[in-house]
Amino acid sequence: MPLANESTILNLSYADNGLETQPLPRAPSQRLNSLAIVGVLVGSVFGYMVAKTVAQHSSPEALWSVSPRVLPSTVPTVTPHLASVAVAGTGPHAAKTATFAAPESTDLTYAEVVASPVAGARTQSSVAQPWGRVLLAAAMAGVLGVAYAYRRSNGSVAGSRHIEFSCCVLVNGQELKTVVVTGATGRTGQLVIKALLERADDVTVKALVRDPTVAREKLQSLEAGHRLKLVACNLENESQVSAVCSDADAVVWCASGFTSGNSLADRVKKLVGQEPEKKDIDSVALPVIAEAMKLHNREPSAWPRVVMLSSAGVTRPVWPEEKKQRLIGAADIPIVRLNPFGVLDRKRAAEQMLRDSGASYTIVRPTGLNDEQAPGRPIFSQGDVAVGRISRSDVADVLVRMLLDEAGCMGKTFEVVAMPDLAKPQSYEQQLTRLVPDTQALDEVSVEAQYNILQQLLPGETLQPNKLAMGQTYEQLDKGETGRLGERGQEKIPTTPFGRND
């Protein structure tokens, strides 16, 4: 088999959100490894001369092409600019990996030199010549350089028949591999999966669904390849839920709704003439997920193990009357006033179950989800006083960024509303730093100050959300139009619980 004429130099670069291309920095503490690379380059030149000379002869043997592989840290979608190098070495086990640590101040975590075999040959007669032995010794020096760098890095890569370039998602130095998403076929869940696949190149997403056929139709537009796995799972079945989370690094909870009433206990109740109690799926499955994440991930992580999509308004039904009157623009909105099927109470209870579980978490409480709302800048607050609208795409972006980018979110609960058409910040670090953890009591003076500011950011012109009817938009209120469910106080509320989105 003929030897390749030359090694291909692969040039990878990035341009994301205006970031400039930066070369891989050389760490001062890795100077000896740099000397090893010099040996690789010198050995490559002489080794290539040997390979070219003997290419016409028999006795085929593997030579190796060595290329750098760069793994980003805080920006998973970015691949820094770095050209490859080449080295010639011999033997079926010559593939090695050299890892070079970068300074902590840089955005890059480490680089790998990946050795891959290509076709080659040598002849006894040529190597037997004195000059051949000299050149061969130089080539071996290059291979020894790779081996030395390998020992310095404590890494290894098995030889293969191709040059491999890949990225791993590193969150504060820890590798995130598998993320479970519940409520995957819901409108928000689909956007969460899309955002994960776009922002995290090497993450496998396990979408928990009730009906894989239906899920496949809804998610077929996502170009995910093998990175998206549809997993049939009944969230009411504890053993199924626990098993599917056994290899997960994190879970994004987007499910909502009520149990089906088809469990064994429910069927027994039906046989004796009793009506099964409808339970919210949050309180049934979320504690099981939290326990499973604790069981299978005992080491502390750089990200929250569970990111929960909850809802603004969950605490307002139990506010004291004095507080309800003082913060009437938050306490007397339709969802709080009517609280259909006790949905806010159920979400509040599920939140507390997650906090009490001991698993690391972040709880995100969006205001009114609106598919027609233009994407914009999310505004974080605490105290459950946020009122307004936010697009589902903004909510999905916040959930994913809490998992991938923001270390300051763990153990915190916050509300989020969005200002349409304003650019998103490059990082939410400042906003998250100002939020207090759930273990710390909120200052009511601060809560009221946040309420007063947020009331000025309401949609529409009336700025009196306590006059809204269920199903009425802010714009309809401005025009004096009736909403789709009727006049305030006479709304036609559905008589059966909302459907499931898992």
pLDDT in tens, 180-233: 999 999 999 999 999 999 988 889 999 999 999 899 888 888 766 788 999 999
Mean pLDDT of the chain, nearest integer = 74
Q: What is the pLDDT of residues 50-106, one digit of tens each?
A: 555 544 443 333 333 333 333 333 333 333 333 333 333 444 333 333 333 333 433
**Two structure tokens written together for 259:** 């149990």
Quick one: average pLDDT of 372-385?
A: 96
pLDDT band at residue 263 under the 50/70/90 scheme? low
What is the DSSP code (8-state) at residue 483? Answer: B
| Nearest residue to 498 via CA among 392, 367, 351, 341 | 341
Between residues 340 and 3, which one has the greater pLDDT? 340
Between residues 50 and 160, which one has the greater pLDDT? 50
pLDDT band at residue 136 under the 50/70/90 scheme? low
pLDDT given for residue 269 in this prediction: 59
Considering the entire predicted model, what is its pTM? 0.65
Which range among 147-156, 197-206, 296-305 shows the weakest confidence by mean pLDDT?
A: 147-156
Q: Which of the residue ranges 8-22, 193-207, 260-274, 450-464 has the most confident prediction, judged by mean pLDDT? A: 450-464
pLDDT given for residue 303 in this prediction: 81
Quick one: average pLDDT of 328-352?
A: 96
> Using CA atoms, how far apart are residues 198 and 384, in angstroms rounded to an integer?
31
pLDDT given for residue 301 in this prediction: 74
In this predicted structure, the answer to whether residue 124 has a pLDDT above a threshold of 60 is: no
pLDDT band at residue 296 under the 50/70/90 scheme? confident
pLDDT band at residue 29 under the 50/70/90 scheme? very low
Secondary structure (H, E, C), 6-31 = CCCCCEECCCCCCCCCCECCCCHHHH
pLDDT band at residue 386 under the 50/70/90 scheme? very high
Give 363-432 as a DSSP string.
Answer: EEEESEE-TTSPPEEEEEE-SS---SEE-HHHHHHHHHHHHHT-GGGTTEEEEEEEEETPPPPS--HHHH
The answer to whether 285 and 241 are in contact (CB under 8 A) is: yes
pLDDT given for residue 118 in this prediction: 37
In this predicted structure, the answer to whether residue 338 has a pLDDT above a threshold of 90 is: yes
pLDDT given for residue 74 in this prediction: 36
Give 275-340 as a DSSP string.
Answer: PPPP-BHHHHHHHHHHHHHHHH--S--SS-SEEEE--TTTTGGGS-HHHHHHTHHHHTSHHHHH-G
pLDDT given for residue 258 in this prediction: 84
Which three-class secondary structure state does DSSP give residue 343? helix
Between residues 18 and 30, which one has the greater pLDDT? 30
> Using CA atoms, how far apart are residues 265 and 287, in angstroms rounded to an integer?
19
| Nearest residue to 120 via CA among 36, 194, 56, 192 | 56
- The radius of gyration computed from the CA coordinates of the chain, to the nearest angstrom, equals 29
In this predicted structure, the answer to whether residue 10 has a pLDDT above a threshold of 90 is: no
pLDDT band at residue 245 under the 50/70/90 scheme? very high
pLDDT given for residue 174 in this prediction: 63
- Which residues are registered as beta bridge partners of 379? 417
> Using CA atoms, how far apart are residues 200 and 197, in angstroms rounded to an integer?
6
pLDDT given for residue 107 in this prediction: 39
Between residues 422 and 13, which one has the greater pLDDT? 422
Percentage of the chain beyond pLDDT 90 is 48
pLDDT given for residue 125 in this prediction: 43
Quick one: average pLDDT of 230-250?
A: 92
pLDDT given for residue 8 in this prediction: 24
pLDDT given for residue 501 in this prediction: 62
